[in-house]
Structure 1
Amino acid sequence: MTQYISFADENFNSMLTEARKISLAVATEQEIILPTMKEPFVEASYDDYQQKKKIRSYLSGLMSQKEYIENIMLVTDNGRIYQANNEPIMKKDLEKSAMRKALETERSGIFYNREEKEVLLGCPIISGGKAVAAVVISLNYDIMVATWQIEPLDAVNIYIYGPLDTLFYTNTVEKGKEAQLLSLVEEVGDNTGYLKWNGEKQYFIRYGADTETMTTISIIPYRLLLQDADKLKWKFLFIGMMAVLFAVAASAYLSGKLCTNLHKLTESMREIQNGNLSVRSDITAVDEIGLLSGAFNEMVERISLLLEEVRQKERLKREAEQDVLAAQIEPHFLYNSIDSIQYVAHMRKEEEIERVAVALSELLRSVLSNRNEFITLWEERVYIENYITIERFKYRGFFQLLWDVDEELWTYRIPKLLLQPIVENALIHGISTRENDGVIQIKIFRQEKDIIFKIMDNGRGMSRDQIEQLLTEVTKKNKAGFRRVGFANVLNRIHLIYGEQYGGTIYSLEDMFTCVELRLPGEGEKDAAVGFDS
């Protein structure tokens, strides 16, 4: 019986202690609560609405899954009220005795009205040495006292006293004897003992929670102690016997089942050991052996797939080695052919053809000889400048390529040939139709933690439908990989390397301009030893 009473008392005081912790957490909150309390009162506005919404969300989170807390309110000295729920607060509610005490208290405390079942925990918010607001937590009286309303305590008289020895709760119908009982317990001078109450011998237990200033006194008739003890003795004896019988039966059943399944699983493992990868375990039990069986089947399946993958890779490796041997001569032959074109153009004084041949040779040598996946932005610029030199020979109309790059970003590393397809699209599909005033501008700058790339042209532009169709290409794939669309390929490379949170978009207006914007993480690799002429 003592354990039941102790358990109920701990539950009761734990609710009060948790509510007090919440009130102190609200009173000392530095980011949402205290800054708001210090702000001067302003008539209803959108900012005030947003602040109330933020505070309501914070208070609602504190009382989540705590059904014994009905509401958490903040009442400032200038009349502002913030609360966790949406129920309106009437002026008469603030004028109730318990509420006034909770709002005016100078230290954290409990205030209640037993007749109205109103329980409040008040805590002042101090700023600059004075109280600027009060935290008031409304507790559900019925839920709190329900911890005492359990079957083993039906025959126990419970008395809970609050501050100043006022009665908070009792499960008895007698009235007017609460002070007398408290005096008798004080005379005994101990937390447990015997006293005479209502004409018979009683056993009392007193619990005092110093942090919550609540005292609980439980009165148990002595005659019931012996009666309940005999009943419990036979109940426990019966329960113990049944538990032993059940344990023996369950052990026998589970042991037989586990041994059978373990034997099956062992046989399957022996088959695998002998090289038979087609065997699978057929154990379907919903227990640990069943989980092991499922893991075993999954492991064998993966081993089979890995072996097949190894065979495929070996075949592809042999084919790739043959392709590499066949392709080794191709770059050398291509370089010699371009050098021959350059030499003949020089001898014939075809300076424009010579420049194109030089640019093409440098572009091919840079791209084919540089096997790094990531290159600096300066190296990407060299690729693009060589490409533009070649294209000027094709498009006779004059056009400009302008660079606007933050100086520090020239050493920022990007995937090789990331910008070249965008520039190519801007030239072919954008300014190729203009005669003499085409402009391609590349602007690169840092924006907060990201790097922004903008490739703009003053060409023909695109309609909204064309932009949507182009963006749709990003998510389409075929057997060969990504669709061979420059912009879609670039975005898919960004998604694969940096994640879905990075990528790009297109802005355009027909017959006016097109702007491709890419976003990459700002913490990319940098080459500390890249030289270039500014």
Structure 2
Amino acid sequence: MKLSTMQRWISPKRSIQGKIFIAFIAVTLVSIISITVIVYMSMRETIMQNAITSVSDSIRQADESLNMMLEEIDRLNTVVVTNKNTVIDTLLSPNEEISYEWFQEQKRIDEFLSSLIDYKAYISRIAVVGLNGKVFFSGGPWLDRTILGTRMMDYMLQNGSRHAYFKQTGVSDAITIGREIRYDRAPIGVVMVDLNYEFIQKTYDVRPTTDSMIYVLDKEDEFVYETQADLSFAPSYQEIKKIHQQFTTNGEGVRQYIDGKEYIVVSRQSDYTGWSTIALIPMDSLLTESVRLRKLLAEVSIIVFVVVLIVSLQVSSRITLNIRKLKSLMMFVKDGNFTLPQKEIKSEDETGQLYLVFISMVEELKRLLEGIHLSEKEKREAELTALQAQIHPHFLYNSLNTIKYLARLNGVPNIEEVSGSLIELMRSVLGNSSEFLTLREELAYVEHYVSIMKYRYMKPIRLITEIEDDALLDCRVLKLMLQPLVENAIIHGIGPLEQDGFVLIRVYEDANHLNIDVVDNGKGITEEQQEYLLEGTGTNGETSRFSGMGVRNVHERIVRTYGDSYGVHLCSEPGLYTKAEIRLPKLEKSIRNTKREVI
């Protein structure tokens, strides 16, 4: 892996490729873990449900098989107890043993009993026991009159009105199904059929795992069948009895802890015998397959993750390839190189569009820089020209003072007045760099301007000022605001007149606004001329000669500074007067940073 690639993986937060790679890995890891957990839990649950279903079906089939054999035995018992000639008469016969009549009776009943159990391998013995001590049987083991008075005999007599079930233990295990033999409404004996216990063991050997346990209990909570495996961890009889009492009906499968170990308990109660079958399946053994499945899923997940890791690395690298190319181009331009190398990005996605925009931006930047270089060159040339033509204000002030001094020596007061007014006028214009000044200063500037203009027209021009309140003289106004209006009044109003003229400047306050009217008694102007003046030129196209700013300029400066509700408004009556109305906000305190040049 190259060094640049290594650096991208060392600091993935600074690399788009690293972020894409981490996003792929995060999504893949979460997906793999989620799918693995879901599959494992689903398979685990499926294994449990399959085990429960299998055991439930097996127990049901075992119960049905046992019930079929018990029903067959019940029919045999019915045949025996209803046979008068062979069974009942033999039991009631007075013939004693070791007599020919007794031998004939025994032979006849033995043949009868043998015919009943022939070809029935699940029956090990059938016996007829009379209360008078007569005992007849077919099959094994041996049976004699010692059966009388036993617990099994008493149980059969007490419960054998229909059929009774009793488990024998001892020489051979068997399930005995008995029924009373009655004559004249009185018991005279019992017929008993022994069900071979091996068939019961084979029938109920339905354990899903080797350490599972099956228990069959009768109505008295006695074991009819129990798992014979030597299991040291098998529950005690009390635990089985407790479970039997809890699950009296058929159960689909319940998880329960017994002696600290978790089991799945499946139970079923036979409708025919009333016996309950309980299956205990240890969870550990049942989920052995799920453990192997979990290991397999883990191995597959690791392999898939490694494959996705490699694929994600390649995919993220290909996705960010054009971005890295674009970055290298930007770094190339950053160093001041505007001639781009041949690194075209031909994709039509967002990166390709960014490349086209970047190329266009570089070309535009190159064009702008060339324009800036040209402008700078022209600016330097203009500055050089201006520097060569510049006359320092000190030289002008000193020259005008010299003219004023000579006019005084030679007794020429008009030249002295014009020179003095021009000095003060230039001092106001060139010596004050602020955009604002007080109204008092602006009026003084206008007075100096009028004193010069009256010598131009060789006739007196009166300047009349009406101030409503002297405090208004300290209000702040725009610099060179009144001069263009007064100049317009003199040039276009009073100048063409033959008689003397005047300019009236009236200052007054109106609703916290400062109003200034500039009125002359000139010939007046038409509406078209008013429009020309507001556009910056006179009726003859003559501009403001001294300041370079016309009425339009004054109006735009006021609007730009204070808003559309302020400005200049012209009104005139041809042959009588012209009035320029200025509306300004009243700003009493002037906060200025005025720089005056000391002469």
TM-score interval for Structure 1 and Structure 2 normalised by the shorter chain: 0.3 to 0.5
Q: TM-score, normalising length from structure 2?
A: 0.38
With CA pairs under 8 Å and 6+ residues apart, which has the higher RCO, 1 or 2? 2
